[in-house]
Amino acid sequence: MSYTPSSSRYDNIQYRRSGKSGLKLPALSLGLWHNFGFVNDFENSRNILHTAFDNGITHFDLANNYGPPPGSAEEVFGKILHTDFKGYRDELIISSKAGYTMWDGPYGDWGSKKYLVSSLDQSLKRMNLDYVDIFYHHRPDPDTPLEETMAALDLIVRQGKALYAGISNYGAEEAQKAITILKELGTPCIIHQPKYSMFVRDAEEGLLDVLGDNGVGCIPFSPLAQGLLTDKYLNGIPADSRVATSGVFLNESHISADKLDKIKLLNEVAQQRGQKLAHMALSWLLKDDRVTSVLIGASKPAQVTDSLESLKNTSFTSEELKMIDQILG
């Protein structure tokens, strides 16, 4: 099956500048965290990527440990990239990360220069690429000096293995330090990827201010709080839900009666706005100019097109925002 992208793919999506850089990202980006490993259906993964690109989603977000098993998301993506997207590499933003465990021994984890350089070399080999567009340090390392970790990102950009450097999961104070070091090295940090949603608002405790003040973009992950901010849990916990089945990242202990009440009340606000709860949750993040793009996940193509509905209404009245804050407490 050959693939020809839609000729109207750039007609209906917004692109936002990442901080003060020259890079623009689509308002929604596709994360290849789950659903793109060896255990998943190849044709389905392929169709998800087609649907995303057909609708102007040009940014595909990966990491060395995505799968399952770790590394397989990059390998599957690489296969699809070189068959279906062969003539379109320059239209794509491909990102990867390193910071979590990938192999045994002292050099397969965290933030040493040895690990970051080796990991990216492996990622490029898996995807059969000369470079990625964005390379992130995936999480702070409590033991390696931050200067070494940032120097590794600087080296990687200077070697041409990545065009831009980013960080992920850094708190406000450590993000400021990392941004300052990279600026002094001459390779600015252009983007930060925090966990951020209506239910996880740590980014508002200084981080967004740090990013805004330094001209660094923000791309939240888990915007739907692992599916809690959808209509899936309006009537309790369904038997086929991620909570009831896998329970790895989200289990019943995360869903209290109070949480379910909040989900129902938020859903009422969404309905008043003419939106589904999931659409409002994405729109709510995009209301902030400091947010460059929001990472969505998808297990089928229809979920990509459904998420794009959120872009039709990203403005909120002060009354709506007040109501949402009251519900969230």
Task: Give 126-156 as a DSSP string.
Answer: HHT-S-EEEEEE-S--SSS-HHHHHHHHHHH
Please report the DSSP string for 44-84 in residue order: HHHHHHHHHHHTT--EEE--TT-TTTTTHHHHHHHHHHHHH
- Global pTM value: 0.95
- The answer to whether 25 touches 219, Cβ cutoff 8 Å, is yes
User: What is residue 247's predicted lDDT score, i.e. its pLDDT?
Assistant: 55
User: What is residue 234's predicted lDDT score, i.e. its pLDDT?
Assistant: 87
Report if residue 321 sits inside a domain. Answer: no
User: What is residue 190's predicted lDDT score, i.e. its pLDDT?
Assistant: 98
Q: Which of the residues in the chain have pLDDT under 70?
A: 1, 239-253
Report if residue 261 sits inside a domain. Answer: no
| Rounded Cα gap, residues 24 and 15, in angstroms | 6
Which helix (H) or strand (E) segment holds residue 98: the answer is strand 93-98
Report if residue 82 sits inside a domain. Answer: yes
User: What is residue 255's predicted lDDT score, i.e. its pLDDT?
Assistant: 82
Report if residue 252 sits inside a domain. Answer: no
Let me know the angle formed at the C-alpha of 266 by 242 and 199, rounded to the nearest 5 degrees.
Answer: 55
Report if residue 103 sits inside a domain. Answer: yes
Say how many C-beta atoms besides its own lie within 10 A of residue 123's C-beta: 26
User: What is residue 233's predicted lDDT score, i.e. its pLDDT?
Assistant: 87
User: What is residue 155's predicted lDDT score, i.e. its pLDDT?
Assistant: 98
Report if residue 20 sits inside a domain. Answer: yes
User: What is residue 92's predicted lDDT score, i.e. its pLDDT?
Assistant: 98
Report if residue 147 sits inside a domain. Answer: yes
Domain membership of residue 54 as a residue range = 15-228+289-315
Report if residue 66 sits inside a domain. Answer: yes
Q: Which domain CATH number covers 164?
A: 3.20.20.100
The b-or-e profile of 1-16 (16+ CB within 10 A means b, else e) is eebebeeebeeeeebb
Domain count along the chain: 1
User: What is residue 203's predicted lDDT score, i.e. its pLDDT?
Assistant: 98
